Structure 1
Amino acid sequence: MRPEKRFAFIVLLMAGLFSQLFFENKACAYESLSYLYGGNTATYINSVAATGANLTTVCPDYFEINSSGTLRVTSKADALFVNSMHAKGIKVIPYLSNNWDRTLGRAAVTNRAAFAVELAAKVKELECDGVNIDIQNLTEADRNSFTDFVRLLRAALPGNKSLWVCVAANPWGINTGWQGSYDYKTLGESSDSIFIMAYDEHYTGGSPGAVASLSFVEESITYALKYVPPAKIIIGIPFYGRYWKQGAATGGYGITIADVERLAASLQFSAGYDNTAQCARGTLVVKDTDNAYIWGSSRLSAGTYDIWYENEASIEKKLLLVSKYKLAGAGSWALGQEPQRFWKNYGLWLFGRPFSDIENNWAQSYILKLTQEGIISGFPDKRFAPEGKLTRSQAAAIFVKILGLQNETGSKPFADTAGHWAQKQIAIARQYGIFAGYENNMFHPDKNITREEFAVICDKILFSPDTVNFAQKVYSDVSPETNSWSNKSIIMLSMNNILSGYPDGTFRPRNTISRAEAVRVTAALLDYPGGFSMSPGKIQNPASIEPR
C-alpha cells in the first residue's frame, strides 16, 4: 500500500472510531446536591435557578425535633417548592436537624420507634423523595440507639423513598465523642447514602486554619471506604469559610464565600492560596467606618481578620475526588453562600473533567447531562469538539438513542453505509422513517446536517399538536416562502423552547448545526412534556424527511 493511501485509510478509520465513541460510551451518573438553609420558597427557587442544570437533589430545612422527641415540621415545608423542583427533574430530600442540640437529638432517638413512623409518614405526605438525617453532637453513648433509629426509619419509609445519613468526617478513626456516635458500617447498610460532612477541620473556638484542607477531605474518604461502598458515599464540601480576628480571645466564626469575595472587593484585603491545605486564605482590614456586614446581618468590628475559605481552585480539587474514588457524588453546605460563577464549571469538576475543551462553554451543562444519560460521549483524546459539525450518521444515532430504538433490527442498509460505525442506527432510522436517503440508495452518512434539517426531524418525532400560529414571524430569515418545508417545524419547536435563534434575530436555517447546538436541542427534546410520537411498537404514520 502506498504511504499516502495508508495514511488516508488510518484517518478514515480513526474518524469512524471517533464518531462511534461519540455515541456509545456511557458516563457514571453522579449525585449533585446542596442544602437549603435560612431562606424561604422564593429564595430557594432563585438559588436553585442560579445553579443552571448542575443539581440533581436539594435538601431543604423542613424537619426539626421537639423537646418531647416528636417531629417538628418547619414553616419552610411547601408543596409549591417540591412541585417546582420535580418539574425541573430535581429530587427533594429534606433534612432532619437537631441544630447541634444534644438533648433534642437524644430525645428523638429515645423515642425512635414512634419518631421513625411519624417522620416517614410526613415524607410521604409532602411527596418528597426521601429524608436526610442530620443529627449531630451525640456521643459514643448514643451510637446504638442512633443506629437503631436509622434502621427503624428505613423500615418505615416506602421503598421508593431514599434515606440518607450525615456523618462526621473521621480521618483520625476516633470512636469516642461526636465521631464515635456514627457506626459507618451499619449506617451504610441501613441507608441509601452516607453524606460525609468533610468540613469544620478548624472550627469556632479552635486555632486558625482551613475549614476543609484537601488532605482532610481525602483522608475522610479513605476512612469511610473501609466500611461503606463508594457507590453509597457522598462527599460534603463547604460554601463557607471561617475568620479569626487578630488579638481576639476566640475566633473561627463562619462566613460565606460570597461575603468574603464581596468584602475583598470593597475593603482592604490581601488574598493568597495555601498550597499545603489547598484552599484560599486572606487578610481583611476593617475600619470603623466600613460597613462590613455578613450573612445573618452581623457586622465585623474594626480590626484585622485572618480568613480561610474556598475558591474555584480548591472546590475543583475536592470535586475531582468523586471520580478518583468512584463515589456517589458531592453535596454542598449551603446553597446561596457561594459566588454564582462557581456553577459555571461545577459539573465539569464533579465529572472529573471528562472533556478537555468544554470549560466555560455555553453548552457545558447540556453536554454533561447527555453524557451522564449515556446518549453522547467524546473522543479518545478527551475532546468533545463542541463547535464541530454534526453529521447525518451522528444525528441518526442520537434520534435512535433518545427514542429507545437501539435494540431494533433496522431495514436494509443504504449502499454507502455497509461497514459504517452507524450502519445499524441508520438502518433503524430508515425503518422508522426518521431519515430518507438520496438517489441510488445513498445516505451520505458523513455529510453535515443543517439546522433546519435537524429541526424538521425533531418536529417529526415529537408529539406536538398544531396549536401555534405558523404565520407569525419568529425569525427574520425564516418564512413560509423561503423555507416552505421547514417553516412550521422551526416555529413549532421555537415556541416550545426547544429551538432558539441568534441575538440578531436570525435562525440561519441553512447553517450546519454544531455538536453543541445539537446537544442543547436534544436535551430540550428529552424535557419536552408532550413526549415522542414513535417508539418500539408505536409508529404514527412515518413519512420520510427528504434530504436537501
Structure 2
Amino acid sequence: MKKYKQATAWLVMMTVMATFMLPVMPAHAFSVSDILGQAAGTAESGGTSGVSAGKGVVDIILGLFLGKVLGNAASPDAAVQDNSSDNGLKTNLAKEFVGFYAEWWGEDTSSYNSMVQNADVIKTIAPFWATMQADGTLTDRGGNDHIAVVNTAHQKDVAVLLLVNNAKQDNAPPVHTVLANPALRTKAIDNFEAYIKKYNLDGINVDFEMVPAKDRDLLTAFMRELYGRLKPQGYIVSIDVFPKQDENNDVAAAYDYAELAKYADKIMIMTYDNHGAWSGPGPIADIRWVENNLKYALKSIPKDKLYLGIAAYGYDWSAQGVQSLEFDAIMDLAQRYGKTVQWDDTAKSPHFSYTATDGTAHTVWFENSESLKHKLALITKYDIAGAAMWKLGEEDPAVWPVLRDKFRK
C-alpha cells in the first residue's frame, strides 16, 4: 500500500509538471493506448497521431509509469495487433493506377480515349512525348496537341508526368555521354524543367533503358540532381527500372534500387517482357517471375514508392519475326483463324497458336483481364503503392471493371 501511495503521489506530481510544460493544444480524447502507442504507431503506419510528437520526454516518462502501474488493465487483444504481411508491416496504402500514354502516329487517340473513358480509375498518366539526345537536348516526339491533352487530364483530376526516354545507339550509347558529363547532365535537367513548365505538367517519368552497367553511380547522380531541382518546386519525380532478382543482371545492373529510391517519389518496375523479340515464345509476364522480381525490389525500395508494371499487349512469334499487338488485334487473329485461347495455369497467362494463310506457324502470348487479376493481387499481397500499365488504349476492355474495384479514385 505504501508503494502504491508513493506511486500515486509521483503520478500527480508528473501530471502537474506536464500541465505547465505542454503547449496549449486542441481538445483530443486520450486513452492509455493512445499515450503508449503514439511513437510506435507513427513508426509503424507512416502516419501522424493527433498529438504533437514534441512532448517527447514527458510522453516517455508517463508512458513508462502508466505501463507499469496500469499495464494489467489493458486488453491484450487491443494492445497487440498483427499487421504483418509477406514483406513486413502492412499499412494498407491507398493504391494508385498510372497509365503510360503514347501516340504512335499523329492521329493516334487510343491512349487519349482510354484516359477519358476511365478517368475515375486513372490517377496519373505519363505521356511518351520526349527523347533525350546525346547532347542533352530533348526531341519532341510529336503526336496530338499536348496542351489539350494536359488540360483535359487536369479537368478530370489526372496528373500528367512527362515520360522521357533516351536515344539508342549500340556502339556509343547517347545516355552514357550525358550521364558521364556533369555539364550535359545539367543541360538535360534544364531542358526537362523547361518542357514541364511549357506544358504545365506535374512532373517527370524518367525511362532510361539499356543504361550501361558501368553507369550505375552516374545514373544515381543524375536522379539526385534532377530530384534536387524539381522536388523543391513541387514536381513529382519518378523513374522506370528494369526488373531483376540479383545484381548480376547486366541489363538491370545500372539501377541501384536503394539509392534511386532516395531520389524518386515513384519507382515503376517494368515487370513485363519476360519473353519478347530476344527469346522464343512465352508468357509476357509469368506470374512466378513477376512475384520474384517484386520481392527482390522490396528489399531495397520502400513499398509506398513501388509500382508494379503491367502489360496491356501481347507478342506474335513466327519465323518472320516478333510483332507487338494490342488486345483487340490479338482477338481478331484468334477469330480469323478459328482458334480458342488457351490458359497456362502455372504462368497465369493466355496464349494460342495458328497457321497463317501463307503457311507460316505463329504463337501468340498476351495479357488479358484474367491474367492481370493475378498481377493485381500481388499489389494487395505486398501492399505496394500501385500499378503502372503500358500502355493505355491497348488493353482488354474487360480489365477496367477489375481495375475499378481496386483503384477507383
- Per the TM superposition, whether the score is higher than 0.5 is yes
**Separation of aligned partners in 2, 1:140 and 1:205:** 19
2:121 equivalent to 1:121:
no
| CA pair 100-308 structure 1, distance change in 2 beyond 3 A | farther
Deviation of 1:104 after TM superposition, in Å, equals 2.5
Select 2:350's aligned residue among 280, 284, 298: 280
2:251 equivalent to 1:181:
no
Offset from partner CA, 1:32-57 (integer Å, 9 cap, x none): 01111225587143221233522111
Counterpart AA for 1:123: I
**Separation of aligned partners in 2, 1:63 and 1:79:** 14
Q: Pick which of 121-130 and 88-97 moved more.
A: 121-130
Q: How does 1:65-84 map to 2 (within 5 A)?
A: 65-76=132-143, 78-84=146-152
Asked if the contact 1:69–1:109 (Cα under 8 Å) also holds between the matched residues in 2, the reply is no
Counterpart AA for 1:316: K
Superposed CA RMSD in Å reads 2.1
Aligned to 1:207, the other structure's residue is in SS state coil
**Separation of aligned partners in 1, 2:107 and 2:225:** 31
Q: Pick which of 159-168 and 251-260 moved more.
A: 251-260
Counterpart AA for 1:283: S
Aligned to 2:398, the other structure's residue is in SS state helix
**Separation of aligned partners in 2, 1:303 and 1:267:** 13
TM-score, scaled relative to structure 2? 0.71
Counterpart AA for 2:128: D
Select 1:220's aligned residue among 290, 293, 298: 293
Identify the residue that residue 314 of structure 2 maps to in structure 1: 241
Identify the residue that residue 108 of structure 1 maps to in structure 2: 178
**Separation of aligned partners in 1, 2:354 and 2:381:** 35
Deviation of 1:85 after TM superposition, in Å, equals 0.4
Deviation of 1:101 after TM superposition, in Å, equals 4.2
**Separation of aligned partners in 1, 2:96 and 2:333:** 32
| CA pair 109-325 structure 1, distance change in 2 beyond 3 A | same
**Separation of aligned partners in 2, 1:340 and 1:118:** 37
2:338 equivalent to 1:268:
yes
- Alignment gaps of 5+ in structure 1: 1-25, 289-301, 352-367, 370-548
Give percent identity, aligned residues only: 28
Identify the residue that residue 254 of structure 1 maps to in structure 2: 324
**Separation of aligned partners in 1, 2:334 and 2:167:** 30
Identify the residue that residue 314 of structure 1 maps to in structure 2: 371
Asked if the contact 1:268–1:285 (Cα under 8 Å) also holds between the matched residues in 2, the reply is no
**Separation of aligned partners in 2, 1:117 and 1:205:** 36
Asked if the contact 1:34–1:59 (Cα under 8 Å) also holds between the matched residues in 2, the reply is yes
More helix by share: 2
Q: How does 1:344-423 map to 2 (within 5 A)?
A: 344-348=401-405, 350=406, 368-369=408-409
Asked if the contact 1:154–1:190 (Cα under 8 Å) also holds between the matched residues in 2, the reply is yes
Identify the residue that residue 161 of structure 1 maps to in structure 2: 235
Identify the residue that residue 85 of structure 1 maps to in structure 2: 153
**Separation of aligned partners in 2, 1:230 and 1:152:** 23
Asked if the contact 2:305–2:385 (Cα under 8 Å) also holds between the matched residues in 1, the reply is yes
Counterpart AA for 1:336: G
**Separation of aligned partners in 2, 1:67 and 1:99:** 7
Identify the residue that residue 205 of structure 2 maps to in structure 1: 132
Q: How does 1:34-49 map to 2 (within 5 A)?
A: 34-37=99-102, 38-40=104-106, 43=109, 44-49=111-116
Asked if the contact 1:164–1:193 (Cα under 8 Å) also holds between the matched residues in 2, the reply is yes
Aligned to 2:315, the other structure's residue is in SS state strand
Offset from partner CA, 1:183-225 (integer Å, 9 cap, x none): 0000011111110000111121312211101011111110001
Deviation of 1:167 after TM superposition, in Å, equals 0.4
- Alignment gaps of 5+ in structure 2: 1-90
**Separation of aligned partners in 1, 2:229 and 2:354:** 50
Select 2:98's aligned residue among 27, 33, 41: 33
Aligned to 1:155, the other structure's residue is in SS state helix
**Separation of aligned partners in 2, 1:155 and 1:314:** 39
| CA pair 126-331 structure 1, distance change in 2 beyond 3 A | same
Deviation of 1:123 after TM superposition, in Å, equals 1.2
Asked if the contact 1:282–1:307 (Cα under 8 Å) also holds between the matched residues in 2, the reply is yes
Counterpart AA for 1:305: H
Deviation of 1:181 after TM superposition, in Å, equals 0.9
More strand by share: 2
**Separation of aligned partners in 1, 2:228 and 2:377:** 34
Aligned to 2:340, the other structure's residue is in SS state strand
2:393 equivalent to 1:325:
no
| CA pair 194-52 structure 1, distance change in 2 beyond 3 A | closer
| CA pair 331-187 structure 1, distance change in 2 beyond 3 A | same
**Separation of aligned partners in 1, 2:332 and 2:199:** 37
Asked if the contact 2:119–2:156 (Cα under 8 Å) also holds between the matched residues in 1, the reply is no
TM-score, scaled relative to structure 1? 0.54
Higher relative contact order (CA 8 A, sep 6+): 2
Asked if the contact 2:313–2:327 (Cα under 8 Å) also holds between the matched residues in 1, the reply is yes
